[in-house]
Structure 1
Amino acid sequence: MTAMLSKPDTKTGPATFSYSSDDIKKMLPHRWPMLMIDRAYDVIPGESGKGVKSVSVNEPFFAGHYPDHSIMPGVMIVESMAQLVAVIYVAEMLESPVEQPAGDVSEQVGYLGAIKSVKFNKLVVPGDQLVLSAQLGPRLGGLRSVTVKATVDGQTAASGSLIVTTGRAG
């Protein structure tokens, strides 16, 4: 894998990066049916970014949630936002001029430690496109706070904060 998965967008301010679904598969350990993010863009490595989750009627959770009234489970919306956070975190390692860690960079992805003050404002249904955003806060030892939001058609579907680990515990 190369150090830069995509070309930076250097309009003004810090360089931003975009990552395709193929790039994301190199960055995250998740695979179907748990890979929940299709694209990431406006990523400022280690700081913030945006992403897209296209919600399809073929998602496996719709078979039981609910069979006659398909609604994306809130935990899957949170997982989508958390995966965007992981992309932003891994992008910091990949795009840094400092030497990259040896091995598979997806092994550096940490864990979701806490879900705080997340509110759900709109049902997400098949055909919707979740637009995700995340802003990483300061590091607190091996933890990091993150502000996250998911919208559909400009309306907030979910928002709140997460605590993530900055690496995997042994």
Structure 2
Amino acid sequence: MKQPALGEIVSKDILDLLPHRYPFLLVDRVLEFAPLDHIKAVKGVTLNEPFFQGHFPAYPVMPGVLILEALAQTGGILVVKSIPQQMQDKIFLFTGIEKVRFRQSVFPGDLLHLEVKYLKHKLNLWKIQGVAKVGGKKVAEGLLTAAVVDREDG
């Protein structure tokens, strides 16, 4: 079995970075990461995704809100990996979206490329720019905001 490249973030690492689990974990692998700068990740879209049962059975299309969620999760990895010492007992929560545009549909069999760029943060509020692509073509984009808050397990 091929070992991951130094610094590559694979699915088992993602499970340590994000609280999401099946069926809501929407990032499969991180291809590139630069702290407080950018991250590139991928999500392999398969017909086995549970949302395709209802969206839409005769014409399976990945819901746009889930593409945004995949970008938000990718942004969460960027933040957690950028400031790990400050993320102890914290969680990264998606708080808003702006200037969202959906450009093209995403179908089973597509490899969704998720590109997130760090824009700024102040205190616990973060702003990132997300772009999702398939085959080099932009399928969705938007500005996302999130907050780092105390994790309340209970």
Query: Is the shorter-chain TM-score for this pair beyond 0.5, marking a shared fold?
Result: yes
State the alpha-carbon separation in 2 of the partners of residues 47 and 109 from structure 1.
20
Among 50, 53, 67, the residue aligned to 1:77:
67
3-state DSSP of counterpart to 1:52? strand
The 3 A distance-change label for structure 1 pair 67 and 44 is same
Are residue 57 (structure 1) and residue 57 (structure 2) matched? Answer: no
Task: Please tell me whether the aligned partners of residues 91 and 151 of structure 2 are also in contact (alpha carbons under 8 angstroms).
Answer: no
Partner of 1:10: none
Q: CA deviation at 1:6?
A: 7.1
Structure 2: stretches of 5+ with no match in the other structure: none
Deviations 1:82-134 (A, max 9, x none): 0000111111134xxxxx369xx5x5231111011110000000000000000
Identity %: 34
Partner of 2:99: 117
Partner of 1:14: none
Comparing 29-38 with 140-149, greater Cα deviation is found at 140-149
TM-score by length of 1: 0.81
Task: Please tell me whether the aligned partners of residues 90 and 151 of structure 2 are also in contact (alpha carbons under 8 angstroms).
Answer: no
Among 34, 40, 45, the residue aligned to 2:35:
45
State the alpha-carbon separation in 1 of the partners of residues 41 and 59 from structure 2.
26
State the alpha-carbon separation in 1 of the partners of residues 77 and 22 from structure 2.
17
Task: Please tell me whether the aligned partners of residues 90 and 108 of structure 1 are also in contact (alpha carbons under 8 angstroms).
Answer: no
State the alpha-carbon separation in 1 of the partners of residues 19 and 101 from structure 2.
27
Task: Provide the alpha-carbon RMSD of the alignment.
Answer: 2.0
Q: CA deviation at 1:169?
A: 7.1
Which structure has the highest strand share of the two?
2
The 3 A distance-change label for structure 1 pair 87 and 6 is farther
